[in-house]
Amino acid sequence: MTLALATELTMLAASLGFGAYAIAHWRRSGRAVLDGLGLRFGRSDAADLLAGLVIAGVAMAGIFVTERAMGGITTATTSVQPGLLPRAAVMALHAFKEELLMRSLLLSGLLLALGNRRVPAVGLSALAFGLIHLSNPGASALSVLGNALGGVIYGTAFVLTGRIWLSLGLHFAWNFVQGPLLGLPVSGLASGGMFAVTHQGPDVMTGGSYGPEGGLVGIGFRFVVIGGLLGWVAFGRARRSAAGGAPVAAEAG
């Protein structure tokens, strides 16, 4: 067993272990497990999901344009890719699985174990999210950083909203626009696309065969997503305050 695979299995075990700890706590305290996992869905959650899709989709388009303008990639249009909807469904299920494991289970358990200290809880879960991608083709120290920043984004969305839907929208759109739409590698995996992309380098900027998560341009745009996420959450809170509603705050676990 390789070190990368062992790390991935360890992170999976940690997610399930901390998740079991959180679920046991919710049951003892009388809190609904569905609420603890952040899986309730209402009108505001639909808006969060849509906002996540827009924020991450625009950021990924920005990465594509930036890398093309700087000569890091060249592109040619391809024929319309068949099976786009089935691939979208598969990527949505994959994003949901990772959000359930890494945010609903692992992050919730860490929040409880750390006394609702959000910064270290999000940081540890983000590090775990970066490390589980070590077994992907072409992974590097820089790609671990890029994926860990993705974990910061999704974890922050989860703790600020108390729901999984904003993080799910961000996660899915980042991957789907990146791969099946624009033709960039998704964490080392080819996913087709409307463009045939040729990498000119340097890989440290574009991520090369790993994709934007492993390059400085993609890492820079992670901070654009963080700004969009914080702006959206602030806008939602201001709107609810103006309407006389209480602001949403995630409970520990």
Residue 1 has pLDDT above 90, yes or no: no
Residue 241 has pLDDT above 90, yes or no: no
In angstroms, the Cα distances linking 97 to 32, 48, 167 are 20, 18, 12
3-class secondary structure, 76: strand
Q: Spell out the domain ranges in the chain.
A: 3-25+34-242
59-68 in b/e form (b: 16+ CB < 10 A) is bbeebbebbb
Residue 252 has pLDDT above 50, yes or no: no
Q: Work out the average pLDDT over 139-168.
A: 97
Residue 230 has pLDDT above 50, yes or no: yes
Name the pTM for this structure: 0.92
Q: Work out the average pLDDT over 206-217.
A: 95
What is the residue-averaged pLDDT of the chain?
Answer: 92
Percent of the chain with pLDDT over 70: 94
Distance CA 80, CA 84 (A): 9
Burial class (CB in 10 A: 0-12, 13-18, 19+), 47: middle
pLDDT digits (tens, 9 = 90+) for 21-63: 999 999 999 999 999 999 999 888 999 999 999 999 999 999 9
Q: Work out the average pLDDT over 73-77.
A: 91
